[in-house]
């Protein structure tokens, strides 16, 4: 079982570069059919504020849970 897990992990590590290949730089023309800002500049990426807030909340709740369980296990001893 450990050998199968090791093989799967190695496969995932070696396959990651092939999965992360992107398009060549330049992208589509921003002035065509509303695919960009319309002023000749390249379109900007997606905003990260919503996802970042969710990650901060999840990280804080996980940290609070870990502190609570550590204090609970310490008081039981």
Give the residue from 34, 17, 35 showing the smallest Cα distance to 26.
35
The predicted model scores a pTM of 0.39
Q: Which structure tokens are listed for 38?
A: 């319309």
Range with the largest mean pLDDT of 37-41, 42-46, 50-54, 68-72: 68-72
Report residue 32's pLDDT band, with 50, 70 and 90 as the boundaries. Answer: low
Q: Does the structure show a pLDDT above 90 at 2? A: no
Mean pLDDT of all residues in 50-76: 89
pLDDT of residue 47: 67
Mean pLDDT of all residues in 51-65: 91
């Amino acid at each position: 079982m450990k050998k199968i897990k090791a093989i799967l992990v190695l496969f995932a590590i070696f396959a990651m570069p092939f999965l992360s290949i992107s398009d060549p730089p330049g992208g589509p023309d921003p002035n065509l059919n509303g695919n960009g800002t319309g002023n000749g500049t390249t379109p900007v990426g997606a905003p990260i504020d919503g996802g970042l807030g969710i990650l901060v909340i999840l990280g804080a709740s996980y940290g609070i849970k870990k502190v609570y369980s550590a204090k609970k296990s310490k008081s039981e001893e």
